Structure 1
């Protein structure tokens, strides 16, 4: 049975005015939204790792990649291009930490941190990223030493903070002791000490590396032996200069 449609003329006038006013309000709201300049959304806090793991439905690696892709796409919002330096870096570090917890064997989060986000032209934000790299490295030095070596270089050249670079380089020497870690990684501390004019300390570090047996390549050992001789000459010259 078909219901007969009520003619528009039969609708009460008050209801017709109410419908017209509602349509006008809806149209005005849409026009106002279009006229407003687009606003950048702040980076939200990440879900806890346990919640993200549960939401992954047994695919934590896929969830980790999805979180990192979300971060990469976050700077390009509708009508807005958000610069990295405008992100909340404390929350950014929390997202990276959660993504890494879901896929601890992947280097993706650390590469994004050391090669992209740590390059921001803001020392405070860069330090947050380097601190994340250092904490991640300490949890798995055998696999994560490349990001830590990059952190040493960023602290030295980008932040021009030699004490921080020295701290990171020392952690590399002490923790990155696996057979796949190249010798130059453990030698970074000595080079930073030379840059700080701490020649005696650099000499002790190089001598310790030679005696430890961690470096077995003959060419690398010969290079370190030459560096010891050069440092000895520099130290003698420095002492002779100070006596005059």
Structure 2
């Protein structure tokens, strides 16, 4: 069969082919030059669904979920800052991972030391709320994250009432023998920083009287601290101290 010369192809068809080629090249160029779009953090599966999907390996699934969170910050061509994450979804991911592996402290460490360090008070408070709720379920094991949360509230957020609330929760719930004395003393120290000397004296005196602290060096330290607080109280402006 005799082939027709290219000159016989209608001009309109040539134009259509050239236009299609230009459109294809333009689309590819746009794909290369268009700024990549970050994906929002989706809500996690429920703990029941995650446990079912783990095929009997909930600890491995917990680690996989936490690794997913860690890698989510670095998407294709996008480095997603923490403050861009949906912290409600983030808290749910951390909670689900912790539910699958309740003995692991990684979720709480990530919440109190990594995600709470975001330069966004609302998001930081969301992480501290997650830590507080988790701590209440296992104070003997989870007190380190709670102590860190109190420090974040005090030094990063400069929210002394919140720091005091977290420290008070620590004193009341972290009563196990393996909890260091300084953890239970945090409330008194924060009260002292807030010039609430009467309350600080009551907390320290109560700890001494309770018998929870038996180390003689700790007891001597607390006695000296009571004397220091009494001296500060003596020189404080009248009416500047109050009991909460």
**What is the TM-score normalised by the length of structure 1?**
0.87
Cα deviation 1:87-118 (Å, max 9, x = unaligned): 11111111111111110100010111111110
Tell me the equivalent position of 2:141: 143
Give, in angstroms, the shift of residue 29 of structure 1: 4.6
Tell me the equivalent position of 1:108: 106
Give, in angstroms, the shift of residue 30 of structure 1: 4.2
Tell me the equivalent position of 2:217: 219
Give, in angstroms, the shift of residue 202 of structure 1: 0.2
- Aligned positions, number: 231
Tell me the equivalent position of 1:3: none
Give, in angstroms, the shift of residue 239 of structure 1: 6.7
Tell me the equivalent position of 1:50: 48
**Distance change >3 Å, CA 241–CA 50, structure 1 → 2:** closer
For structure 2, the 5+ residue unaligned runs are none
Distance 1:108 1:233 in 2: 42
Cα deviation 1:39-94 (Å, max 9, x = unaligned): 11111111111111111111010010001001111111111111111111111111
1:170 aligns with 2:168: yes
1:65 aligns with 2:63: yes
1:184 to 176, 182, 197: 182
1:40 aligns with 2:38: yes
Distance 1:238 1:63 in 2: 56
Give the aligned CA root-mean-square deviation in angstroms: 2.6
Tell me the equivalent position of 1:77: 75
Tell me the equivalent position of 1:5: none
**What is the TM-score normalised by the length of structure 2?**
0.87
Give, in angstroms, the shift of residue 143 of structure 1: 0.2
Distance 1:171 1:131 in 2: 12
Tell me the equivalent position of 2:230: 232
